[in-house]
Homo-oligomer: A and B are copies of this chain.
């Protein structure tokens, strides 16, 4: 709870000490004081500077100890080497939270990193929360709090409002703040984290979740370090119905640890981020503009659970642009009911009444037509979101006021709908419409992208609180080192995962016996904990058809292993049922360094490796979710009976995927990855079976995997 108080003070401090305060309004220690005086901050400002009695006209104090009261928040703007002692003094005084502007810490060199460690240790001793170092600080236009030295405000202060901005970059955070100001977006606060020695991305998001004056959270991230903390804050935001729109840059970046895993090499780390953010209802912004477009519309606080778009337009072309954009992002645009279409045709015989509803230029002669068409779209069409394309006509002197009155009459009758306009007009005219309650965009495609996001928020908010399927505690002991295929399969079988029938055979005689029991043809594989990718050394034989072939095969496998991996420990050969007539799939899990275990599903071979057609989700999840994942891949028709094949046993795949996710979740941090490749999904009702399985483990107490793996082909 004290943490929450500290975070509240960070964005809404009642009194502020500035350590290293400067009389020069252009210096780091001078800018915050100058800005705050200019913007009328009402709390107490306490500059600390041993050399002066006043700073910019404000009484100053010689040291933290001399302060007349404990500051709610402190700004540290001294040389790096002095900062740890200042933080120590602030802690002693009972200050809750400090912003450290100073640079020259971990971002600079090893010496700086040591200094940072010392500073953060001091802060922890006193329970002082710390933003930075190397932070550009916090701005809260609601109360004129400018705990920042960003020069972006030189060309204008942002408007107070209800969008909170959390940024991991000072320069880019300020750029976003400047754009928000220019777009007329009201800001509740902007927090820029710097080195994140203490207060992290998740903390910043949580601060806005807890801030009663913030409705919408816009996040700029360069690298997520506090995965669990962030996810908790995102879930809190979802439950509080506060939409989060996030720009996470570095889509090409691949974490060095994760790059070794097969899944990451297929899907990229960024795909994990995508999957995790979507799960928590976060809308990931494609660009800065997209982020601000979404944030702006979200301040209307209308989040349709089942979004649909009705369009009224004065241009057929604009209608097509909107339809294209809606199709691209999957926003439904159902047709108008037939009766409503007839009704509109009676009004204007040449109108296009389906949706987009084109009222043609006729409305310029009779403005009530615009109102009647708009009302039909809202009332009879029943759309949750309405987009009106009126372009420059709203500015034509002869109709401007009349059109606005018509549109407002419709809007007022339906306060639950999202009303967006695409118009081209003077700043004043646009502001009038915004003040009325319309959200205005110039570009129809941008308007559609923002509208679509509102539906994603709505759907996410409608989901019940995260009642993770309480998995039966799977307490399966993991071996000390990466197990052989056979052991891996035994472990997975304990977790309820179906594996193809097979026998471990110590010699050729046992192999023949096993094959006779299983039934021909069989598959034979070399069995060794030291040979992970058998197919690469020719360690897999298919279509072994009779006893003689089994004997020959046994000899060939041992010979190939001896040649390719002379030091490998050979545990025998595996004889397995050869599954045919099914669809080849890949299931797997990978431990993401930030988010923990993530499960993957894809179709076998080419589909995963060349087409990158996979779906990811953080573990664990239930069977229904697994089935949705499976059916969401592009190649899903192949599992549903495309091209005359019988439909595959998707249900069995879903059960396997869900169980795999629970197992990976329960297994703890030593489990690096699981590859089930291939899994054969037989026709519906006949099950799905893992044919090969690799489990990679980290050695006890070691964060890294105890085997090195390239991202090579993983089949068999």
Beta-carbon nearest neighbor of A136 in chain B: B361
Q: Give me the interface of A with B, judged by CB distance under 8 Å.
A: 26, 107-109, 150-152, 154-155, 168-172, 174-175, 178-179, 182, 220, 222, 249-253, 286-289, 314-318, 320-321, 323-324, 327-328, 350, 361, 391-393, 395-398, 424-426, 442-446, 605-606, 609-611, 613, 634-635, 637-638, 642-644, 713, 715
* Interface pairs (20), CB distance under 8 Å: A26-B398, A107-B350, A108-B350, A150-B392, A154-B397, A155-B424, A169-B315, A171-B314, A171-B316, A172-B391, A174-B392, A179-B442, A179-B443, A182-B442, A288-B444, A606-B635, A606-B638, A609-B643, A610-B634, A610-B638
Beta-carbon nearest neighbor of A393 in chain B: B151
Q: How far is the CB of A373 from chain B (nearest CB, A)?
A: 15
Cβ contact of A175, chosen from B391, B398, B446, B634, cutoff 8 A: B391
Given contacts A446-B289, A606-B638, A609-B643, contact A321 B249 (CB under 8 A): yes
**Chain B neighbourhood of A109, CB < 8 A:** 350
Verify A443–B287 contact, CB threshold 8 A. yes
Beta-carbon nearest neighbor of A182 in chain B: B424
Q: How far is the CB of A54 from chain B (nearest CB, A)?
A: 23
Verify B155–A249 contact, CB threshold 8 A. no
Verify A155–B317 contact, CB threshold 8 A. no
Given contacts A178-B392, A611-B634, A634-B610, contact A222 B317 (CB under 8 A): yes
Cβ contact of A424, chosen from B179, B328, B361, cutoff 8 A: B179
Given contacts A222-B316, A320-B249, contact A175 B610 (CB under 8 A): no
Nearest first, the 9 A-B pairs at minimum CB distance are A171-B315, A169-B317, A172-B317, A152-B392, A151-B396, A175-B391, A178-B424, A249-B320, A155-B395
Verify B317–A168 contact, CB threshold 8 A. yes
Given contacts A324-B252, A395-B151, A424-B179, contact A171 B318 (CB under 8 A): yes
A174 to B178, CA, bound (A): 30
Q: How far is the CB of A254 from chain B (nearest CB, A)?
A: 12
Verify A172–B315 contact, CB threshold 8 A. yes
**Chain B neighbourhood of A320, CB < 8 A:** 222, 249-250, 253
**Chain B neighbourhood of A350, CB < 8 A:** 107-109
**Chain B neighbourhood of A609, CB < 8 A:** 642-643
Given contacts A443-B287, A606-B643, contact A251 B324 (CB under 8 A): yes
Residue among A253, A396, A426 with max Cβ neighbours from chain B (10 Å): A396
* 18 other A-B residue contacts (CB within 8 Å) besides A171-B314, A249-B321: A151-B395, A152-B391, A152-B395, A155-B424, A168-B317, A169-B316, A171-B315, A171-B361, A172-B317, A178-B424, A179-B424, A222-B316, A222-B317, A250-B324, A252-B323, A252-B327, A606-B642, A609-B643
**Chain B neighbourhood of A393, CB < 8 A:** 151
Beta-carbon nearest neighbor of A613 in chain B: B611
A146 to B715, CA, bound (A): 68
**Chain B neighbourhood of A26, CB < 8 A:** 398
Beta-carbon nearest neighbor of A429 in chain B: B155
Q: How far is the CB of A185 from chain B (nearest CB, A)?
A: 14
Verify A605–B643 contact, CB threshold 8 A. yes
Verify A642–B610 contact, CB threshold 8 A. yes
Residue among A253, A321, A445, A642 with max Cβ neighbours from chain B (10 Å): A321
A315 to B315, CA, bound (A): 42
Verify B317–A154 contact, CB threshold 8 A. no
Q: How far is the CB of A179 from chain B (nearest CB, A)?
A: 6
Given contacts A155-B424, A317-B220, contact A446 B287 (CB under 8 A): yes
A108 to B605, CA, bound (A): 56
Q: How far is the CB of A346 from chain B (nearest CB, A)?
A: 16
Q: How far is the CB of A478 from chain B (nearest CB, A)?
A: 32
Verify B175–A315 contact, CB threshold 8 A. yes
A175 to B443, CA, bound (A): 10
A643 to B320, CA, bound (A): 43
Beta-carbon nearest neighbor of A392 in chain B: B152
**Chain B neighbourhood of A324, CB < 8 A:** 249-252
Beta-carbon nearest neighbor of A223 in chain B: B320
Given contacts A171-B391, A287-B443, A392-B152, contact A643 B178 (CB under 8 A): no
